[in-house]
Structure 1
Amino acid sequence: MTNKYRDKLSEGGFGAVYKGKLSDGCLVAVKVLNKAKDNGESFLNEVVSISRTSHVNIVTLFGFCFEGRKRALIYEFMPNGSLEKFIRQENPSDSNRQLNWETLYQIAVGIARGLEYLHQGCNTRILHFDIKPHNILLDDDFCPKTSDFGLAKLCPRKESMVSMADARGTIGYIAPEVFCRNIGRVSHKSDVYSFGMMVLEMVGERENVNAESNHGSEYFPQWIYKRLELDEELGIWSVRNEDDKQRARKMIVVGLWCIQTTPSNRPPMSKLLEMLQGNLDSLEFPPKPFFSSPPRLSTEVDVDSPSSLIPYQIP
């Protein structure tokens, strides 16, 4: 199927993904799980979770292989790869934005729709626990599809809280309650936090850790909150007209609501989707989250795809 693993698309903590072709000519992405790291839990999580889904913003699972210790997942092929490569540029001020603001905004809306479906549209609520640009795939038309359900948890629709023996996710996107339980219970609001961090990264294009940016080394979410609070210009280089400004401001406000430290202060995905699609003037200004910019880390929990964002430290 993969022509002897000749075309590698990506590699993560649990295995590599290869481009393949089915006998009918259909292109697929084949995720071959790492024998040394996978104990079967991530494989079962992915198969059980994604087999319960059917949504335009969730990647489609065509099938899987389970033969001895060989485990593979066969997904629809996404020609434009992951969102990560479109929003992470070494010198964004020296090149044109690869995705315009309309496309970025529509991607954010699509991801929100997919998460709302996972949280409210399935018979069993699915909590993803690893929302980040690397796990958002883009088709020919840049329609976003959430992928990689290896860390997902299932819970009844009437319940939103889950218990976990250990933290899971990627440094920079993990909600504070996941690793500091006295903040609140782990729930679907943990995905909301990760979504917000990702949306702010989409706006800032890694400027939050870029010491050469126009706001120096200050942490991007903190810097952009101050700009909004003082009703100043955004100061983002790629905002070129009023439409761009409206989309950027809407994404920033929604992102800041998502990253509230206390889970109960974060809106559910259904409300966030309304906010994204509604009028900017009707959006309530978010309270100030607790901000901190600790030393840069590249350590991850459960996964092996380093993030440029750092989680907020809790006092």
Structure 2
Amino acid sequence: MGVSPSLLYLFLFLLFYAFVPLVSSLNEEGFALLSFKSSIREDPEGCLSNWNSSDPNPCSWNGITCREGVVISLSIPKKRLAGFLPSALGSLPSLRHMNLRNNRLFGRLPPGLFAAGGLQSLVLYGNFLSGPLPQEIGNLSYLQTLDLSRNAFDGSIPSSLVQCMRLKSLILSHNNFTSSLPDGFGSSFLALEKLDLSYNGFSGSIPGDIGNLSSLQGTVDLSHNLFSGAIPASLGNLPEKVYIDLTYNNLSGPIPQNGALENRGPTAFIGNPGLCGPPLKNPCPTGVSSSGPSVPTNYMPPVSQVNSNGNGSSGSGKGLSRTVVAAIVVSDVVGIGIIAMIFYLCYRRATSSKGKEESGTSKKGTKRRKECMCFRKEESEALSENIEQYDLVPLDRHVSFDLDELLKASAFVLGKSGMGIVYKVVLEDGVILAVRRLGEGGSQRFKEFQMEVEAIGKVRHPNIVTLRAYYWSADEKLLIYDYIPNGNLTAAIHGRAGTMAFTPLSWDVRLKIMKGIAKGLTFLHEFSPKKYVHGDLKPNNVLLGLNMEPYISDFGLGRLANIAGGSPLLQSDRIAAEKTPNQQSDVTSSPFLTRGSCYHAPEALKTLKPSQKWDVYSYGVILLEMISGRSPLVLLETLEMDLVRWVQFCIEEKKPLLDVLDPSLAREIDREDEIIALLKIALACVQANPEKRPSMRHVVDALDRFISSKPR
């Protein structure tokens, strides 16, 4: 039996008026949001349960923020909502922020969504959205944040996107976008601070105007795409602290060596077989070159490359000679190459283990090799001596960086010695560290290394450099310390080689340094976990903080270098390797007497077993150096002698105090009592018989007794 049309219309009319009292109080924005609720098929946490049509407005609903009674924000992240996005959301006239990240939304973005022209942030990270990005996105002229990462979007980036000129953050990683970037990409987003296009199928050339994005920060990630052609030199115009990740593309040709591309290790370029030139190992074909490496602003050439007039010129001081310039450039290239090789080896070891399972043949069954960013100390402690360590292991709960951040950081050579190279490493967030590379041997001694380095990591004192983390693999052993910004004591006493400006230390600052060193040594000798002996104390191993507070560095390093290098580091080896680029000498050293050997106790040349009295002697020499302002090697007419013998000679000859005193301290001769007291302490410390030397605790007591603690 059929129903007449008139009866059907009557039924619908009555049905409509039956529901009018239930919905008539809700405003238009509420209706638009209810359309979103009706599009959600699953709401396992019930976050939309209080979205009721009986409310006059939606301002009290979960995830809704209003201002002056109008909706400005829809934020419901990580609630496992399953459904699609309706066009009706675009009808919210004052909507500024939409955050629906980490849900289970699917389907395409409706063009009507972008009718909300006031939208400033659209965050849809971590859903199952697909299809192309609508051209209507260009309507969002106020958009500042667009995060569509970890979805299944495809197709090309619409050309209209460049109309969103206020964008500060553009994150499209882990999608299926293809084709080249739209024209004007680098010229339109001048406010852009974050750019991540990684893990897509973008192709074509990297836009040449991308270097105009001068506001970028952190990492510009273009990795894991299909970009081809040459790396545009304009990338070097980006801020120097920006890390540019170009890994795993189809790029080719020489790597430009300018600006932000300079001093980068190979980790930024791997996965591009067609690239050539530094920092990669494969050289460019003859006739093909980049713009050439430039010298970092903080690079200091070795002393041997700077003549007595301080400018490296052999002439009248008009500038650097061609030979010196060539030497500086070659040294820089070598330094950058070493850095690149180190971090590449670390990266290769780390990434080779990431996400892979190792099938064990022993009865213990299958083991999963740890990922390189596990950062779990308790796991590292369970490793056996024969298992390589692929993690950066923190020794301090405040460590917030990981291996990946360390590999991507800017690095500069600070110095070299017989126990490795030290780098200044600047992380993306501005944190500065000092990283020492120890060696490539000792692959079977991890447990021994681990026990030693973790004991050193427990040493905490205001006058001792803190070891924060370490890295171990068969190829690399790295120690990560706090970076101490004011250089070492050698430069503070004598000035830095190659620089003209030099402000001598005041007597009060010298007292502060002397006391700090003594307190640090006392702690090592008597209160550290293993009652350490430094064994190689010298001004190069005393670093100065922002307020000229001293920090003793490199204690325990000889033992670690022995383990990491696989062979003992002999005392003679240490003496032969003492000179570093920031040292300068008043005389030409003889083959039998070097700057480094002057700090070693006489008995140190007879035995390899260090004692605490070695450190006391070294401390005494440092005191004499700070009082006299002279280098540890002194030229007396034609006779060369060490500083200890020279001071003893002056005393025997009854020279006046001013002859011994640093000339820059002559105006502080009214502090004569303190100066003489310090001189007596120094002479007690450098007694030839170690049994006659005081302990460092007695030295601290003497300093407190004889020297006023109040600056004048």
**Do the two structures share a fold, i.e. TM-score over 0.5?**
yes
d(CA) in 2 for partners of 1:124, 1:189 = 16
Q: Which amino acid aligns with 2:604?
A: V
Counterparts of 1:76-87 in structure 2, within 5 Å, are 76-87=482-493
Kept in 1: contact 2:598–2:633 (CA 8 A): no
Query: Structure 2 residue aligned with 1:197, among 600, 621, 624?
Result: 621
Q: Identity of counterpart residues, as a percentage? A: 30
d(CA) in 1 for partners of 2:569, 2:426 = 39
Q: Per-residue displacement from partner, 1:68-127 (whole Å, max 9, x unpaired)?
A: 221111111111011111123599xx9865211111121011000000000111232101
Equivalence for 2:431? 26
What's the TM-score, normalizing by structure 1? 0.71
Equivalence for 2:418? 13
Counterparts of 1:55-74 in structure 2, within 5 Å, are 55-74=461-480
Counterparts of 1:201-240 in structure 2, within 5 Å, are 201-207=625-631, 209-211=633-635, 219-225=642-648, 227-228=650-651, 230=654, 232-235=656-659, 236=661, 237-239=663-665, 240=667
Q: Per-residue displacement from partner, 1:6-62 (whole Å, max 9, x unpaired)?
A: 422222112211111345532111112243799979966972452131100010111
Structure 2: which 5+ residue stretches go unaligned? Answer: 1-405, 561-567, 576-596
- Give 3-state SS (helix, strand or coil) of 1:134's partner: helix
Kept in 1: contact 2:598–2:642 (CA 8 A): no
Q: Does 1:108 align with 2:514?
A: yes
Deviates more, 1:94-103 or 1:26-35: 94-103
CA shift in 2, pair 1:208/1:122, >3 Å = closer
- Give 3-state SS (helix, strand or coil) of 2:531's partner: strand
- Give 3-state SS (helix, strand or coil) of 1:278's partner: helix
Cα root mean square deviation, aligned: 3.6
d(CA) in 1 for partners of 2:636, 2:423 = 36
Q: Does 1:256 align with 2:683?
A: yes
Counterparts of 1:79-158 in structure 2, within 5 Å, are 79-89=485-495, 97-149=503-555, 150-151=557-558
d(CA) in 2 for partners of 1:22, 1:60 = 18
Deviates more, 1:139-148 or 1:166-175: 166-175
d(CA) in 2 for partners of 1:228, 1:276 = 22
Kept in 1: contact 2:490–2:540 (CA 8 A): yes
Kept in 1: contact 2:463–2:549 (CA 8 A): yes
Kept in 2: contact 1:14–1:38 (CA 8 A): no
Kept in 1: contact 2:463–2:551 (CA 8 A): yes
Q: Which amino acid aligns with 1:98?
A: P
- Give 3-state SS (helix, strand or coil) of 2:625's partner: helix
d(CA) in 2 for partners of 1:11, 1:98 = 26
CA shift in 2, pair 1:142/1:70, >3 Å = same
Q: How far apart are residue 234 of structure 1 and its match?
A: 3.4
Query: Structure 2 residue aligned with 1:35, among 440, 443, 456?
Result: 440
Q: How far apart are residue 276 of structure 1 and its match?
A: 1.8
d(CA) in 2 for partners of 1:70, 1:102 = 42
Q: How far apart are residue 144 of structure 1 and its match?
A: 0.6
CA shift in 2, pair 1:50/1:245, >3 Å = farther
The structure that has the greater radius of gyration is 2
d(CA) in 1 for partners of 2:430, 2:495 = 34
d(CA) in 2 for partners of 1:245, 1:265 = 26
CA shift in 2, pair 1:105/1:45, >3 Å = farther
Q: Does 1:172 align with 2:598?
A: yes
CA shift in 2, pair 1:241/1:227, >3 Å = same
CA shift in 2, pair 1:212/1:267, >3 Å = closer
Structure 1: which 5+ residue stretches go unaligned? Answer: 154-163, 282-315
Kept in 2: contact 1:57–1:113 (CA 8 A): yes
Kept in 1: contact 2:509–2:548 (CA 8 A): yes
Q: Which amino acid aligns with 1:57?
A: N
CA shift in 2, pair 1:80/1:114, >3 Å = same
Kept in 1: contact 2:633–2:640 (CA 8 A): yes
Bigger RCO of structures 1 and 2 (CA < 8 A, at least 6 apart): 1
Q: How far apart are residue 205 of structure 1 and its match?
A: 2.4
